[in-house]
Amino acid sequence: MVLVVAAGETVVEDLVASPILQRRGETPARDVGEDVILVPPLNFGVVDRGIYRSGFPTSDNLSFLDALNLRSIVYLCPEPYPEVNAEFVKSRGIRLFQFQIEGSRESFVSVSNHTIMGALGVLLDTRNHPVLIHCKRGKHRTGSLVGCFRKLQNWCLSSVHEEYVKFASPKARPSDMSFIEKFDVSCMMECVLGKIYRYHVSGSRRRRLVYENTL
pLDDT category of residue 102 using cuts at 50, 70 and 90? confident
Asked if the model's pLDDT at residue 181 lies above 50, the reply is: yes
Distances (CA, A) of 190 to 80, 117, 184: 29, 9, 12
User: What pLDDT, in 10s, does the model give residues 125-165?
Assistant: 999 999 999 999 999 999 999 999 999 998 999 999 999 99
How far is 131 from 71, CA to CA, in rounded Å? Answer: 6
Q: Indicate which residues carry an active-site annotation.
A: 135
User: What pLDDT, in 10s, does the model give residues 31-75?
Assistant: 445 677 899 999 999 999 999 999 999 999 999 999 999 999 999
Asked if the model's pLDDT at residue 21 lies above 50, the reply is: no
**Domain definitions of the chain by residue range:** 1-38, 40-213
| Fold adopted by 40-213 | Protein-Tyrosine Phosphatase; Chain A (3.90.190)
Q: Would you state the pLDDT for residue 210? A: 52
How far is 172 from 23, CA to CA, in rounded Å? Answer: 36
How far is 136 from 148, CA to CA, in rounded Å? Answer: 19
User: Comparing C-alpha atoms, which of 211, 68, 208, 45 is closest to residue 127?
Assistant: 211
Across the chain, mean pLDDT equals 78
Distances (CA, A) of 175 to 19, 104, 169, 190: 38, 11, 14, 25
Asked if the model's pLDDT at residue 112 lies above 60, the reply is: yes
How far is 3 from 191, CA to CA, in rounded Å? Answer: 41
Contacts of 98 (CB under 8 A, 6+ apart): 75, 76, 77, 81
